Amino acid sequence: METKTTVISPEEIRRQNAICGEIREYWAAQGVTPLAFVDTYGCQQNEADSERIRGMLVEAGYALTDTEEGADVIVLNTCAIREHAEQRVFGNVGALVHTKRRHPRQKIFLCGCMMGQPAVSDRIKHSYPHVDGVFSTHHLWEFPALLLRVLKTGKRVFAVEDSAGSIAEGLPVARTNKLKAWVSVMYGCNNFCSYCIVPYVRGRERSRLPEEIYRECEDLIAAGYKEITLLGQNVNSYGKDLGIGVDFADLMAHIAELDGDFRLRFMTSHPKDASFKLFDTIAKYPKICKQFHLPFQSGNDRVLKEMNRHYTREQYLRLVDYGRSLMPDLVLTSDVIVGFPGETEEEFEDTISLIERVRYDALFTFIFSPRGGTPAAKMADPFTKADKNRRFDRLCAVQNGISEEKHRAYVGKTLRVLIDGRDGELLTARTDGGRLVRLAGGDELIGRFADVRIDGCTTWSLTGRLCKGSE
Ligand code: SF4
């Protein structure tokens, strides 16, 4: 397998943008404004990729629609993280045979992580003849050429050749949110956690050049964006492949020094690459949110080894303690897997004791589900589904109690929030720590930072009143 990152040349990107022009003419010649529907499964990285796919479609003259019905092109951006997610995709793809029958000129494309698996693209090729095109994450940049070929020839296209991964700068972007933006800083992952399919479908770690990221952030701030989230499967190893002496903490510091009224978040971190320097940087810059999502997955060293996570419980806790010593109010969230193959009751109790020790504000909890193509899927497991469900319920009960106590502790405090929308009667807002706050107020407040006095809470959210002077 090719191990070197493919950097797509500016000339090739210009050629793809020119092809968008040809597609616009193709439809203009028929006096049609075509409609495009892009649906996203999975993580924030897929959301960010879908914003590029929408950007290319808008560049090609398509109007965006939020339904498959009557769409001239449908793009499903798929996720491969769990097998049952894939079954759902196959079900939805099957159902598209009807929308196409009702709108025969409709073109259907599948992309994203699922399409990075040869077995999946073969299955689509042989069992889903109504699908016109398939492309993996490494081929996203050439979507305009693939679309034009299908429009002109009616022939199906498959761009799924395996590669270490590509970097393409300068693709058009159509963001749905006008306040908050995703900015990918790197792609791929080299960690090969034994339960995870991502390294096999997203390729090797490859970082974007810092100046490309700075330029994108400057443009977003100038356009009035209030929140930027830096994205990567493992942002903490940013820059290692570039060898230019810029690591993730340097990147964050540079962006946090940019002028403008905005705040900065990032995800996702791997504890083995998280450094004290990163915590120092978060503490030093007011624009960097005091929130850290640091997945620990298990509290037991033998299980962490079986997961191929490359850190120990002690090393993880040392990071947490250091961060808390600098920022006592640092909001910590994490991911945990319950019922990893062979995890004993005692080892599970290590996970519970770690949660009680760290006291996360929120936890994303998963029951282990074997993912075909990963080492963990072949591991022996003497424990039953009932065992895992019982442990899962116990873990959620412990965490819900902690989250409730944590949220109750905010009552009476004044917090700075970004008001980002409305939910029925009330406005919604997010604290620096990412906590959801509901408050009364007019829509003119949406998009503004404000101080809010917290006067109530539930397990997962807070309520508050706008402070004088914040109106
Ligand atoms: S760090 Fe591990 S869990 Fe995260 S994407 Fe990489 S291999 Fe998957």
pLDDT tens digit at each of 471 positions of the chain: 455 678 899 999 999 999 999 999 999 999 999 999 999 999 999 999 999 999 999 999 999 999 999 999 999 999 998 778 888 899 999 999 999 999 999 999 999 999 999 999 999 999 999 999 999 999 999 999 999 999 999 999 999 876 678 899 999 999 989 999 999 999 999 999 999 999 999 999 999 999 999 999 999 999 999 999 999 999 999 999 999 999 999 999 999 999 999 999 999 999 999 999 999 999 999 999 999 999 999 999 999 999 999 999 999 999 999 999 999 999 999 999 999 999 999 999 999 999 999 999 999 999 999 999 999 999 999 999 999 999 999 999 999 999 999 999 999 999 999 999 999 999 999 999 999 999 999 999 999 999 999 999 988 899 999 998 875
Asked if residues 456 and 470 have their Cβ atoms less than 8 Å apart, the reply is no
Mutate to test the pocket of ligand 1, among 198, 236, 297 (most ligand atoms within 8 A of CB): 198
With a 6 A CB cut-off, is 198 part of the ligand 1 pocket? yes
Asked if residues 81 and 197 have their Cβ atoms less than 8 Å apart, the reply is yes
pLDDT on residue 286: 97
Asked if residues 161 and 169 have their Cβ atoms less than 8 Å apart, the reply is no
The span from the CA of 271 to the CA of 237, in Å, is 10
With a 6 A CB cut-off, is 199 part of the ligand 1 pocket? yes
pLDDT on residue 169: 95
Q: Which residues contact 386 (CB under 8 A, 6 or more apart)?
A: none
Q: Give the pTM.
A: 0.95
Q: Whose CA is nearest to atom 8 of ligand 1?
A: 196
Closest residue by Cα to residue 214 from 178, 260, 149: 260
Distance 203 CA to ligand 1 centre (A): 11
DSSP 338: E
3-state class percentages of the chain: helix first, strand second, coil last, to nearest 5: 40, 20, 35
With a 6 A CB cut-off, is 233 part of the ligand 1 pocket? yes
Three-class secondary structure of residue 298 per DSSP: coil
Task: Please state the atom number of ligand 1 nearest to the C-alpha of residue 270.
Answer: 1
Distance 192 CA to ligand 1 centre (A): 6
pLDDT on residue 2: 54
Paired sense of beta strands 206-207 and 6-7, if any: unpaired
Q: Which helix (H) or strand (E) element contains residue 365?
A: strand 362-367
pLDDT on residue 354: 98
Retrieve residue 70's tokens: 């009557």
Distance 81 CA to ligand 1 centre (A): 10
Asked if residues 195 and 161 have their Cβ atoms less than 8 Å apart, the reply is no
Asked if residues 365 and 338 have their Cβ atoms less than 8 Å apart, the reply is yes
Closest residue by Cα to residue 57 from 174, 149, 137: 174
pLDDT on residue 84: 80
With a 6 A CB cut-off, is 193 part of the ligand 1 pocket? yes
Task: Please state the atom number of ligand 1 nearest to the C-alpha of residue 233.
Answer: 5
Q: Which residues contact 131 (CB under 8 A, 6 or more apart)?
A: 93, 96, 108, 109, 110, 124, 156
Mutate to test the pocket of ligand 1, among 196, 231, 269 (most ligand atoms within 8 A of CB): 196
With a 6 A CB cut-off, is 235 part of the ligand 1 pocket? no
Asked if residues 295 and 269 have their Cβ atoms less than 8 Å apart, the reply is yes
Task: Please state the atom number of ligand 1 nearest to the C-alpha of residue 202.
Answer: 5
**Residues of 331-348 as b/e, b for ≥16 C-beta within 10 angstroms?**
bbbbebbbbbbebeeebb
pLDDT on residue 189: 95
**Residues of 111-149 as b/e, b for ≥16 C-beta within 10 angstroms?**
bbbbbbbeebbeebeeebebbbbbbbbbbbbbbbbbbbb
Closest residue by Cα to residue 392 from 364, 427, 373: 364
Retrieve residue 379's tokens: 């591991």
Distance 110 CA to ligand 1 centre (A): 23
pLDDT on residue 471: 59
**Residues of 280-309 as b/e, b for ≥16 C-beta within 10 angstroms?**
ebbeebebbbbbbbbbbbbbbbebbebbeb
The span from the CA of 296 to the CA of 299, in Å, is 7
